[in-house]
């Protein structure tokens, strides 16, 4: 018997004029059955790039303006309002508090824990990774997916795809390849979360449980 789809709230900041590509890929993957979830999205920009993507996808009625303040109570209220069983941060730049870490996940465009924390997002991550590469401290970057705890980028990582840095790379070229890998893997791994094939209790001393044959670390050129 077919199981019901999970309700997934995607938190996606985007910008006032662009962004939201990760959210778009999740929606398209849900429509093709790669991601077994019904999606609603929230952005801090009322008519920004995420809203524009939602309109393109015919789901502007599922796009919520979340202007803040971004308190634990506000996050809990938007989850209650949407009925979401899971929350995925996809380009969300605000600290998340008050949610169940066992059902809240994030995708990060750099190696963790080395290149995580407040202020480490988007091009800031790629610039820092390239600086480390030029000092012979790093030979690759990473797309990480992790559970969300009350500290930036601090929850258990359950998926990594490492990407080799090329001698001719710049922060822009590296970021382009990292973003492409995010789009390739995010929906597939998110599906393992919402179907509970990857799961965690949310307690810091407990291990993440993976399905048989799962590869938590991949490599890409």
Q: Are residues 216 and 113 in the same domain?
A: yes
Domain count, the chain: 2
Q: Domain of 173?
A: 108-144+158-221
Rounded Cα gap, residues 208 and 186, in angstroms: 18
- Which residue is it, tokens 């012979």? 136
Phi, psi of 74, rounded to the nearest 5 degrees: -70, -40
pLDDT value, residue 221: 78
Q: How far apart (Å, rounded) are the C-alpha atoms in residues 216 and 46?
A: 36
Strand partners, 145: 107, 159
DSSP state of 101: G
Shared domain for 33 and 125, answered yes or no, is no
Is residue 97 classed exposed, middle or buried when 0-12, 13-18 and 19+ CB atoms within 10 A define those classes? middle
Q: Over the stretch 173-182, which tens digit does the pLDDT of each residue have? A: 999 999 999 9
Statement to judge: residues 116 and 47 lie in one domain: no
CATH of the domain at 166: 3.40.50.170
Compute the CA torsion angle 97, 92, 196, 160 (nearest 10 deg): -120
Residues 129, 164 contacting (CB under 8 angstroms) = no
Beta bridge partner(s), residue 52: none
Cβ pair 152, 121 in contact under 8 A: no
Is residue 152 situated within a structural domain? no
State CA 153 to chain mean position distance. Answer: 11
Based on the fold, state whether residues 9 and 34 are members of the same structural domain: yes
- Which residue in 156, 133, 132 sits closest to 145, CA to CA? 156
Q: What is the pLDDT of residue 143?
A: 98
Low-confidence ranges of the chain (pLDDT < 70): 1-2
Residue 23 is predicted with a pLDDT of 96
Question: Is residue 85 located within the same domain as residue 114?
Answer: no
For residues 43 and 130, membership in a common domain is answered with: no
């Amino acid at each position: 018997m077919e199981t019901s789809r999970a309700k997934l709230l995607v938190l996606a900041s985007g910008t006032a004029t662009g962004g939201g590509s990760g959210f778009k890929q999740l929606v398209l993957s849900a429509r093709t059955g790669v991601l077994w979830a019904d999606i609603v999205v929230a952005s801090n920009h009322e008519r920004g790039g995420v809203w524009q993507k939602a309109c393109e996808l015919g789901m502007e009625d599922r796009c919520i303006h979340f202007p803040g303040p971004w308190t634990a109570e506000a996050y809990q209220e938007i989850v209650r309002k949407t009925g979401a069983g899971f929350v995925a941060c996809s380009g969300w730049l605000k600290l998340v508090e008050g949610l169940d870490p066992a059902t809240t996940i994030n995708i990060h465009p750099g190696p963790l824990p080395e290149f995580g924390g407040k202020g480490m997002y988007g091009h800031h991550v790629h610039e820092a990774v390239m600086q480390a590469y030029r000092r012979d401290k790093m030979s690759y970057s990473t797309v990480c997916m992790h559970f969300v705890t009350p500290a930036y980028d601090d929850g258990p990582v359950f998926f990594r795809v490492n990407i080799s840095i090329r001698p001719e790379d710049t922060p822009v070229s590296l970021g382009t390849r990292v973003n492409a890998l995010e789009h390739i893997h995010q929906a597939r791994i998110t599906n393992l979360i919402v179907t509970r094939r990857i799961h965690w209790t949310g307690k810091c001393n407990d291990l993440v449980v993976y399905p048989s044959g799962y590869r938590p670390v991949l490599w890409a050129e």
